[in-house]
Amino acid sequence: GNSVTQMEGPVTLSEEAFLTINCTYTATGYPSLFWYVQYPGEGLQLLLKATKADDKGSNKGFEATYRKETTSFHLEKGSVQVSDSAVYFCALSAVTGGGNKLTFGTGTQLKVEL
Amino acid sequence: GAGVSQTPSNKVTEKGKYVELRCDPISGHTALYWYRQSLGQGPEFLIYFQGTGAADDSGLPNDRFFAVRPEGSVSTLKIQRTERGDSAVYLCASSLIPPDPRKTDTQYFGPGTRLTVL
């Protein structure tokens, strides 16, 4: 079946540091890939997505590239801020009866300190 | 505009009781999903509705769990004879259905209902 593996947290960085959160997946066919973010006390929000190989999703300074050859979708940001502290979830979608159920990783908590 | 709403935000119940959790999707979204998120884990798929019908209920853990969407909008997740292992945050998401079934559309999540079974 489909699965997503992401690096365990917590990841603690100083403000303005470079961020990488690794994500690899196993899936049949050609899934779409997502990063969702959950800020403290808030619901899940879509951060970025990519729907086919070599696509790059980007938003709020975050980027991730859909790498089919390595089955990866690593999240990067060049300079993190304290406000980026949150839990980040990598996910893939699989077509189901016309819809797209999501399979999530376990989440990576990011803490950014001054 | 209004996002996905879920009620109640918190529900505490005793083992063996029956509970209902409600989801109000974004207006016009025909697809509705339920997920369950246990502590320290990512959300896990439970059931997907396209309109009024459950198109995929493969994630429901057992027959104590049931969900309905009678008018194609609001959905209710029902759990009978609750067990302590049912304690989790139950998330609802909605999306449009893209014309091309090979494509995906963004799922918008509600804030969740935190269920605690004592």
Summarize pLDDT for A12-40 with one digit per residue, the tens.
Answer: 999 999 999 999 999 887 889 999 999 98
Point out the residue among A89, A93, A104 whose CB comes nearest to the CB of B104: A93
| Mean pLDDT of all residues in B5-23 | 97
> Helix-strand-coil percent breakdown of chain B, rounded to 5?
5, 45, 50
User: Cβ B91–A98 below 8 Å, yes or no?
Assistant: no
A69: which residues sit within 8 A by CB, 6+ positions away? none
- In 10 A of CB B14, how many CB atoms? 9
A38 to chain B: closest CA residue: B111
Question: How does pLDDT run across B94-106, given as a tens digit for each residue?
Answer: 998 765 655 667 8
Angle at A106 between CA B90 and CA B76, to 5 degrees: 15
* Percentage of the residues of chain B whose pLDDT score is greater than 90: 75
Least confident of A39-43, A109-113, B29-33, B91-95: A39-43
pLDDT at res. A86: 96
pLDDT at res. B1: 56
Q: Does residue B65 surpass a pLDDT of 70?
A: yes
Quote the strand ranges of chain A, DSSP E.
Answer: 3-6, 11-14, 19-21, 23-26, 32-38, 44-50, 56-59, 62-65, 75-77, 86-96, 99-104, 108-113
pLDDT at res. A101: 87
**Chain A interface disruption, residue of B41, B102, B107, most A CBs within 10 A:** B107
